[in-house]
Amino acid sequence: MRRPKCAVELIRSGGAQVGSRERLRFAIGVGVLILGMAAATAASDWPQWRGPNADGVSPDGNPPLRWSEKENVKWKVRIPGEGFSTPIAHRGRIFLLSAIPTGERKEVPPTPRRFSQAKVAPAEVVHQFTVLCLEQSSGKELWRTSAVEAVPNEGRHRSHTFASSSPIAEGDRIHVSFGSHGIFCLDLDGRIVWKRDLGDMETRYSWGEGASPALHGDALIVNWDHEGPSFITALDKRTGKTLWKTARDEVSSWTTPLIVEYGGGAQVVVPATKRIRAYDLKDGREIWNCGGLFINVVSCAVQRNDVVHAMSSYGRSAIMAIRLEGEGDLTESDHRLWTYTRSASYVPSPALHEGRLYFLSRMDGMLTCLDAGTGESFYENRRLTDIRGIYSSPVVAAGRVYIAGRDGATVVVRAGDAFEELAVNRLDDRFDASPAVAGKSLFLRGHRFLYCLEE
């Protein structure tokens, strides 16, 4: 059987049959087709934490509605080590992080901060901080790169892991953060292009690290909020060199920066305990700040038009909508459009889809949907079936909201003004990493396995 001609071959072969003007039209048409195919492929990827637009939405994804261990599982592979790192999909590959214990033990002198709570697991075992690459179509491992091998810098909350940050991909590069153990850039074959050591974190009660980097233009943004001197920095994505570094008057937070374009520039928005702050991407200058959240901020901000939404719920709940055009302290200004003080998310980040903000009550199996423009509720605290503890963040695709729980259940709800459960699916694993969507595939990273679900 003859193989089909590629676009370049068609252009070349067309020369023998048509004139120069027709060849030019034909070449332009094929070029448009190629660009359209490339754009469609890129749109089908999930290249970073919270998806292509950092809002928890897959614009063109169409994953299955129902699955089980015997239905719609395209592949299932065991993942070595531990990690709540959400997988990303990029150029036909899946990337994720894992901390793999070697079994070698080293004594680490305890400090009051490290072992101040019974919930903290001590750091004693050497781990390989590893980047994994799998073939998207089959789950076959293509490579694994141990970026560094060390005893973790400090302990962790027993419900946490030493590899909870998510990678971010662009072109032929993958950027990952292992926090205190370094920031790394790898190529698509797993070779380390550059690495940076930004120091050691001391997180609140040694609960561990988890913020993911963000990327815009040539700048890789890393937020470094902890119990020591906090800062935010921009690294050159090509070399890892510092572009700018700005000190922050903050304590531990676990939120990933949100980069938004506004007014011909870009702002880096970071919610935290004392303030939500926005920085100029060019030089790290603080543009505006706003008070109103509380301690232990984990949930990430999302953007709709010229408004960002941020939330926290440890101790007290608050969700705020803030217009980007302001400067200085916006706490008491008209730029703070609305505030919602009931049942915000703690660990899960919200999803923002078609003007609706979907989020969970703290870490419980109760879903709320607000009008992102006004803060008015479409529905509040609707109990999800057979799902309780939730660390993962909701994802929206094909007009459906997917919510994965710590007990192995994933509830699917119709996206819209009215609450309607569509399906409750269960697998033989537990899920703390958030779902990822690429085309027809839904990826769920459990404590033991990575699932690719597809009809």
Please tell me the number of Cα atoms within 13 Å of 266 on its side-chain side: 17
Model confidence band, residue 251 (pLDDT cutoffs 50, 70, 90): very high
> Looking at per-residue confidence, does 25 or 435 come out higher?
435
Non-local CB neighbours of 225 within 8 Å, separated by 6+ positions: 211, 248, 250, 251, 252, 253, 254, 255, 270, 272
Model confidence band, residue 339 (pLDDT cutoffs 50, 70, 90): very high
Instruction: Determine the structural domain holding residue 114 and report its residue range.
Output: 44-453
- Name the H helices within 66-182: none
- The two structure tokens encoding residue 136: 């998207």
Instruction: Pick left, alpha or beta for residue 233 (phi over 0 → left; psi -120 to 50 → alpha; otherwise beta).
Output: beta
CATH code assigned at 162: 2.130.10.10
| 251 within domain boundaries | yes
> For 150-162, what is each residue's pLDDT tens digit?
999 888 888 889 9
pLDDT(47) > 70: yes
| 167 within domain boundaries | yes
| 14 within domain boundaries | no
The predicted model gives 186-193 an average pLDDT of 98
Write down the pTM of the prediction. Answer: 0.89
Non-local CB neighbours of 174 within 8 Å, separated by 6+ positions: 90, 95, 131, 167, 168, 185, 186, 187, 188
Handedness of CA 203, 209, 210, 216 (dihedral sign): positive
The predicted model gives 370-380 an average pLDDT of 97
| 22 within domain boundaries | no
| 29 within domain boundaries | no
The predicted model gives 388-410 an average pLDDT of 96
Please state the domain count of the chain: 1
pLDDT score of 43: 55
Q: What is the mean pLDDT of the chain?
A: 89
pLDDT score of 12: 29
pLDDT score of 31: 44
| 25 within domain boundaries | no
| 34 within domain boundaries | no
pLDDT score of 50: 97
| 435 within domain boundaries | yes
pLDDT(109) > 70: no
The predicted model gives 87-115 an average pLDDT of 82
> Looking at per-residue confidence, does 29 or 430 come out higher?
430
Instruction: Pick left, alpha or beta for residue 139 (phi over 0 → left; psi -120 to 50 → alpha; otherwise beta).
Output: left
